[in-house]
Structure 1
Amino acid sequence: MRTNPERRQALLDGAIEVLAAEGARGLTFRAVDKQAGVPAGTASNYFANRDELLTQAGIRFYEVIAPSAEAMAQVSNGPRTKEHIAVLMREVVSRLESHRTAYLALLELRLEATRRPELRAVLTERVRADVEFNIRNHLASGLPGDADSVLLLYLALNWLIVEHLTLPGIFTEEQSLALIETAVERAIPG
């Protein structure tokens, strides 16, 4: 297998774009090569098979959507209020929505994971680790709320993002902002 990290990343980014545009059925080495702008046959030099490409695209998603250092600093350095949690949640929603194709690709990967045990294992481990990180980070920050608060916000805001990206006409921007505020208000006790 080839090891050029820049080309591998370009191929995985191409795979994410193909997944978002064509779905899992459209994910072929040829489609990824074309999307990445590389010679035909390149993807097959980097990934042993389609399953490996799917799995690696799932891992790449989390690299693409990772919060910036500034966003992470807001958790630790901001005021310890529900209002600040709402600010943080708006940033999360905005960040994920700004990576529309990556999030749509993740939805495709989740559906594909129902049929592919290796992909399901990778995504389950990654999502579980992400949720546990968010809980630990929230509790350590001293922000109001507990582990259940984090889980409720995780579930509510993920579905709001799905609505925005798949059926954008359901909620206006104002409704979405109000829903974020309401989710924080109801998920954080006191």
Structure 2
Amino acid sequence: MSETILVGNKKYTLTEFHGEVVDQQVSETSYRSNTSYINEHDQAVSRTSSGTHTTKEFFLVNQQGEERAYSFTNAPIPSIRPGHIAQVMIVNRQGTKDSHYVFFRNTTLNMEYVDLGAIEKLCDTPERKALGLAAAAIGGFFMFFCLWRLFTFFFLEAGFSGLLPIIVAAPISYFTFKLTRDSFIKRKQQLQNEIISRRF
């Protein structure tokens, strides 16, 4: 089942499916990578890293007989086995190809996994990034301006009026940053609440 949800001024498509686990498989893939570079002392350095990717694949069949296959890699989803009842939710930000698994629940064991990292990525819109850059630019400008004013106040005896822009600039910079951050946190919490409210 898919539906459109509105979070802030952004539309998301939430797809939910639940049913009985009819088959499941866990596979592991080992990887190894080598990195070579020259350090600051002109010495050749080689680093090796290795690890294992764990993939959990399973099939769900709902009461109408519809079947879906799902695959999670390196996600700490609860254990499942055939016969368990499970639920999966996927969210897509409309107008993009940005789609993520955000929720898995093993209803039989009453255990669930919410991917907060995926929810954060879905809420991290280009507009928010632009606002964040604007806030950083404004903050950087005001910081430079304030330091210059402090310098002129202490070393060039510009007088107390030289500190007035600092009193004005510091709150503007702080509230611009805070507004951007708070808006992002609110949108993230709203999306998480929308997902949790559809828990089966």
As a proportion of its length, which structure holds more strand?
Answer: 2
TM-score (norm 1): 0.25
As a proportion of its length, which structure holds more helix?
Answer: 1
Higher alpha-carbon Rg: 2
- Which structure is higher in RCO with an 8 Å CA cutoff and minimum separation 6? 1
